[in-house]
Amino acid sequence: MLKVKIGDMAPDFTLKSNMGEYVTLSQFRKTRNVILFFYPMNESPVCTREACAFKDSYEAFKELDAEVIGASSQDVKSNKSFADHHNLPFLLLSDMANKVRSLYGVPTTLGFIPGRATYVIDKEGLVRQVFSSQFQPARHAKEAICTLKRMKNLG
């Protein structure tokens, strides 16, 4: 069961990125919406499809004033290699101790596979959408874009 739900304030955190810099979620407040997606493992076929779906939609995310950020339990070196290999234009954060994954309550599959969940967080830090699906990786980017478009039309 996801701990963080629609309407909740997104818990703040700081993690190291594939660029070697520390990134804090709240640094985007007031300036950008954030698409935070948790994925299990670099270079696995399903995770690669998910990351590439975000990459393929990256221009749409930029037009919708959103920062895309991936998070996994992989180390910084692995995240950098994954980003470089697939030309990913967004940050990948290293959550090696799974503290942020746990903070958000991202579920596991079969009790041991790290879950896959995407959070759309608005400029005020409120969670506007949560999408969790282990086996529909491309839908994560599509759902996030739909949510951002709804937010833009309402706002």
Query: What are the sequence ranges of the domains in the chain?
Result: 14-154
Is pLDDT of 155 > 70? no
Place of tokens 């779906």: 53
pLDDT at 21: 97
Instruction: Give the confidence band of 38 by pLDDT, cuts at 50, 70, 90.
Output: very high
Is pLDDT of 113 > 90? no
pLDDT, one tens digit per residue, over 45-66 is: 999 999 999 999 999 999 999 9
Whole-number Å distance between alpha carbons of 4 and 24: 17
Take residue 16 and report the two structure tokens written for it: 């190291």
Cβ proximity of 128 and 6 under 8 Å: yes
pLDDT > 70 in the chain, percent: 98
Is pLDDT of 1 > 70? no
Count of positions (residues) in the chain:
155
Mean pLDDT for 75-90 is 98
Residues in CB range of 82: below 8 A, 6 or more apart: 18, 42, 43, 51, 74, 88, 92
Per the prediction, the chain carries an average pLDDT of 94
Q: Which CATH architecture has domain 14-154?
A: 3-Layer(aba) Sandwich (3.40)
Pairing of the two strands 108-109 and 113-114:
antiparallel
pLDDT at 138: 86
Q: What is the CA radius of gyration of the chain?
A: 14
Cite the active site residues.
47
Least confident of 1-5, 9-13, 78-82: 1-5
pTM for the full predicted model: 0.95
Q: Any idea what the Cα angle at residue 42 is, between residues 84 and 78, rounded to 5°? A: 60
